[in-house]
Every structure is written in structure tokens, then in C-alpha cells.
A = this chain, B = another copy of it.
Amino acid sequence: MDTIGFEQHDHKSCVQGALSAVEAQCAAHKLQFTPVRRRVLEILLSEHRAMGAYEILDVLRDEGLGSQPPVAYRALDFLVSHRFAHKVERLNAFIACTHPGQTHTPAFLICRNCDAVAEAHAEPTRGILGKAADEAGFAIEQAVVEAVGLCPNCREGHPACA
């Protein structure tokens, strides 16, 4: 399972591993990992890309798991608030966390050509930004770091990219 998500990997075990990890987390913290929530996470994990809420909703609807926007948004809120998934603000889309359970500040590398998204780490409270925040007296609680550019495949005109 890769943290930097542009390479090939064993997708099936990657999905399974993440699901198990989330299950364990939910059990440990007495969170209700309901069918809808589970299914939404599975969809995100198996697609392994950023998906819009309505795109997820389409899948749920086909499966009879819900048909109105709040169903998808509520499940996504649960996943995002417990950090099992993240919202990519730049795309107004959601993506499964590639390392659930570990505390981290996710940072995303978003390909402007094929929309592939890889999750990396950032440490916004360090470096220039953290210094500026300190000086301003601003208390950073959470950060969104999203870099837009070209993924390795698209840089080489790889067929994997649409």
C-alpha cells in the first residue's frame, strides 16, 4: 500500500487493510460503523480517487441504500470528522484516507490533467506558515494543503491518464 498514490499497488489488500483499520478504530471508540457509512468508505477506497458527493450518491441509489443528498453528506461528514476520509476543497470532492488511525495533517497532490489525487503529509505548524501564525497570535487547529500540478504519469504522457 502506497502513501504516495500514483504508483501501482495491490489494490484489493489496500482496500481490505483500510477497512479493517477503520473497523478497529470504530470498535475502539464506540463509533457506529453503519452500512451506509461503511459502503461509502468502500466506494471511496475501491475507486481510489476523489469523488463528488453526488457521484457517491448515484452508487448508493443504485444499491438501494439511499437516494437523497443528505444520506451521502451525512455519511461523508462522519468519515471526514473521524478522519477516515478527507475533503479535497479544490475539487469539492472526497477521498478515502490512505492511513486511517494515524494522526496527521493530510496534504494532497492533485493532478490537473487526470485529477488523480495522492495523499502526503504536511506540517503546516512548522516552517514559514507556522512562524507567521505565531507572530500573528493565530492558533492553527487544522490545515488544508493542496498542491496542483502534474502527476508523474501525465508528465510522461502515460496512457494511464485520460
Q: Which A residues contact B (CB, under 8 angstroms)?
A: 4, 6, 89-90, 107, 109, 111-112, 118, 120-124, 126-129, 132-133, 135-152, 155
Contact = CB atoms under 8 A, between A and B. Distances in A.
Contacts of A139: 149-150, 155
A90, A112, A132, A141: which has the most chain B beta carbons within 10 Å? A132
12 contacts: A6-B136, A6-B137, A6-B138, A107-B129, A109-B138, A111-B138, A122-B128, A122-B129, A133-B147, A136-B152, A137-B152, A144-B147
A1 to B, nearest CB: 15
Nearest to A150: B139
A112 B138 CA distance: 11
B112 A121 contact: no
Given A89-B146, A143-B145, A138 B123 contact: no
Copies of this chain in its oligomeric complex: 2
Given A137-B155, A138-B150, 16 more contacts: A4-B136, A6-B137, A6-B138, A89-B90, A89-B144, A109-B138, A120-B132, A120-B136, A122-B128, A123-B128, A129-B145, A129-B147, A133-B147, A142-B147, A143-B145, A145-B145
Given A109-B138, A140-B147, A141-B112, A123 B127 contact: yes
